[in-house]
Amino acid sequence: MNLSVREIVAAVNGVNHAIQHEDQCVESVEFDTRKVIENSLFVPLKGARDGHDFIPQAIESGAFLVLSERELSEGVSYIKVEDTLVALQKLAQYFLEKVHPKVIGITGSNGKTTTKDMTEAVLSQHYKTYKTQGNYNNHIGLPYTILSMPEDTEMLVLEMGMDHKGEIEVLSNISKPDIAAITLIGESHIEYLGSRAGIAEAKMEITAGLKEDGVLIIPNDEPLLKRMIIDIPQTVDTFGIGTEATLSASILSETKVDTQFETNLFEGEVFSIPVLGGYNVKNALIALLIGHFFNVPVSKMKNGLATFDLTKNRTEWLKTNDGIDILSDVYNANPTAMKLVLDTFSALKLEGRKFIVLGDMLELGELSNQMHESVAEHISPKKIDQVYLYGEQMESLYNLLHERMPQGSIHFYRKTEKKEMMTHLSEKMQPKDTVFLKASNGMGLSEVVEFLLKSHE
């Protein structure tokens, strides 16, 4: 990046206290002192600690310019602003206009990270493409992503996350997407949004900044969204499996390492994705719609999907040294997502026994017991050999299942009993067995995955 002091002052509407010449440029923008390098602009943000307290450390690490809400000592080069977070967002908007890539915004209760990864893989076959790194998808992460993209970026794929109403509207207005996509409406954050309808309304905020000639992509099987698109002026494309959508898929085959499908729009073409599950085919359909809109050749789109890299902890296959397969999906969970993966895992033809480890799904509010119980219909003793339920909220599911499952096949552990659960699970599993783990990130099932890998070395 090259942003001059003059540009930054104008973009953030700040007061210039910079020692450097106005034409001198910063090469990166950072809010974490651990990432500051020579010629960085440091933006101190207020969180658990006030980033202003780390300004000396940032300067020592190489930052030559700082945004600050405070008056700083003489000899420090800074731009005075009223609010450093707002200034960061304004600077991102300026840089976005300067680079002027096409912008794709992706949100949804589940699958947005995978869809982002697939979309980047499809577009990067034909364009210089940059995407949200990791989970930098909020009011800080999104502007940081924008400011981190190379100046020759042609396509910018932005993941948009939220906890509360109004948050995606902010992200959409910062980024002004050309295409906006909603993967699905689940139950994540229903504690704060009240209902699935409230979640759908919050996800539809992605249209707040959508360009007038832009495109909105939604699932064809979501009536909540269908009702909300009646009055929007932009084009609406739909996707689904076995449905009359703009882009519809038929699944040809599913294994634990790949899924093949064909579509109504690209007749005679068979697409392959290196992940399991029909729900991931839906994510791939979004990527294909976006690639098609930007005229990426079908052969390149096929290659992009077949070789895309999935962000860590998203439905990741691992294997212990003694031959136990682990399907780790421990980054987040809501009832819709948990049921989708359970159905796919249950249907897989595997050599050994099937184990599942399910932890609490958080932020479900007063509906928590009911929603945990709803998972019971997706766990069959004919398809699952051993069930491990972890966390206080999983007790309601345990109470439903323990009479349906054979004696000795279902186990319940409270949050304080993680070590006991890990030990018992590890001792129970044998080579050629497969275990699927899923829970909200706050339940820390990644620790269970690591324990299994180490204990079966």
Residue 27: alpha-carbon gap to chain centroid: 27
What lies within 8 Å, CB to CB, of 331 at 6+ separation is 113, 313, 314, 441
What are the residues facing 262 on neighbouring strands? Answer: 250, 270
**At 81, is the secondary structure helix, strand, or coil?**
coil
114 known ligand binder: yes
- Asked whether residue 172 is marked as a ligand-binding residue, the answer is no
Compute the distance between CA of residue 5 and CA of residue 237 in angstroms, rounded to an integer. Answer: 42
Nearest to 45 by CA among 20, 64, 17, 66: 66
Calpha distance 193→191 (Å, rounded): 6
Q: Is 40 annotated as a binding residue?
A: no
CA distances to 117, 251, 407 from 272, rounded to whole Å, are 15, 10, 40
Rounded to an integer, what distance in angstroms lies between the CA atom of residue 333 and that of residue 369? 15
Pairing relationship of beta strands 270-273 and 259-263 according to DSSP bridges: antiparallel
Give the span between the Cα atoms of 84 and 45, in whole angstroms. 6
Rounded Cα–Cα distance for residues 345 and 74 (Å): 63
**Is the CB of residue 16 less than 8 Å from the CB of residue 76?**
no
Q: At what angle do helices 141-148 and 84-99 cross, to 10 degrees?
A: 40
14 is in an annotated binding site: no
Separation CA 412–CA 410 (nearest Å): 7
- Two tokens, residue 141: 């992460």
Q: Is residue 250 helix, strand or coil? A: strand
Q: Which of 6-30 are b and which e, b meaning 16 or more Cβ less than 10 Å from the residue's Cβ?
A: ebbbebbebeebbeeeeeebbebbb
How many CB atoms lie under 10 A from the CB of residue 167?
18
Distances (CA, A) of 80 to 18, 71, 220, 231, 417: 10, 7, 49, 42, 51
Amino acid at 134: G
46 is in an annotated binding site: no
- Answer yes or no: is 111 a known binding residue: yes
Q: Is 108 annotated as a binding residue?
A: yes
Annotated binding site, which residues?
108-114
Pick out the residues of the known binding site for ATP: 108-114
